[in-house]
Copies of this chain bind each other. A is one copy, B any other.
Amino acid sequence: MRIGELARRCGVNVETLRYYERQGLLRDPRRGSQGHRDYGEEDLRRVRFIRQAKELGFTLKEIRRLLDLRLTSEGRCAKARRLAEAKIEAIDQTLRRLQRFRKALEILVARCEENEHDGGCAILDAVDAAGSD
């Protein structure tokens, strides 16, 4: 498929794909007759992965390192494993923080329902309440 189709199917724009290529996140694909890039399904998965990871807060550099992981040798396996374990750690921390934040928001909603009008900074008070238990 050509770049326009890939872009459409991934919900990004063409310039972004060319940008990802320059950043080393996408290989320079084989070119068709007119020098047009010709992509396959693998590239589709790749781009979708990139978008997903980006939304989860990974930088393009981190994403690139993840995409570059290969399990072709003992050494590479070990390296991949180390990186993956580190990312799992980081994700776990984010999950915990996000849960706590979520709890604060629920407390906030509950207070809204109680309709106790209070002049403080609602979100900070809610965060405090979420933390103390």
Contacts and interface: CB of A to CB of B under 8 A. Distances in A.
A57 B91 CA distance: 13
Contacts of A66: 123
A54 to B, nearest CB: 10
- Summarize A's interface: helix, strand, loop or mixed: helix
How many copies, total? 2
A3 interface: no
Interface of A: 42, 45-46, 49, 52-53, 55-57, 66-67, 69-74, 77-78, 80-81, 84-85, 87-88, 91-92, 94-95, 97-99, 101-102, 105-106, 108-109, 111-113, 115-124, 127-128
25 contacts: A42-B124, A45-B124, A45-B127, A46-B121, A46-B124, A49-B124, A56-B97, A57-B57, A69-B108, A69-B123, A70-B119, A70-B122, A71-B111, A71-B116, A71-B118, A72-B118, A72-B119, A77-B117, A81-B112, A88-B109, A91-B98, A91-B105, A92-B102, A95-B95, A95-B99
